[in-house]
Amino acid sequence: HKAKLMEANLSENLQEVLNNGKVIEKSQFKISDENAWLLYLEVVCLEYDGNAFDPSLLACVLAIEDTKLPDLIYNEREKLYETVSSENDLKQVQILNKPIPVTLSLIENDWLADPTDSDEQAGSVVSLCKIQKDWMVIRMPGENISPITFMQVLFPLAEAFVPKVGRVYENCVEG
């Protein structure tokens, strides 16, 4: 039961970030006034020890960046779309701004980054996601966290991890 709840929550959270207009320009998926490409992403967790959101979001962004779409034309006679692009003419899907996820857990009055499953069970957990200069609060199970705590503690703490997460993206692309 816990796994299904986590799966649904993770899916909803990933959609919220990836459907943000600052992350992906939806017009690049338009085929015609009535038709558009629809991307399906499937995230498979092979081993879980906490913080499923951050690596899942990174994997989704990298998968989207690796997606290439062909040009299509509508065949009136057949009543269907056909590709007109060769492998060399495919359009690369563009990410406007890579979302930077940082998940924190409150354990004994200290905020820990990238919590394990036992850290998540023991304290309040919050996932933050930076898109350009804005922060999104992705999930907040457990205790309520005051807006002052976000402004004075969590956003500055998460900001310190932004360059490190950016390097993770770079290393994945290079490696």
DSSP string covering 119-132: HHHHSEEEEEEEET
- Bridge partners, 131 (sequence order): 134
pTM of the model: 0.89
Give me the pLDDT at residue 80, please: 92
Dump pLDDT digits (tens) for 128-162: 999 999 999 987 656 678 889 999 999 999 999 99
Give me the pLDDT at residue 1, please: 57
Low-confidence ranges of the chain (pLDDT < 50): none
Count the Cβ atoms, other than its own, within 10 Å of residue 164.
Answer: 11
Give me the pLDDT at residue 142, please: 64
One-letter amino acid at 90 equals L
Give me the pLDDT at residue 141, please: 58
Give me the pLDDT at residue 158, please: 96
Give me the pLDDT at residue 5, please: 73
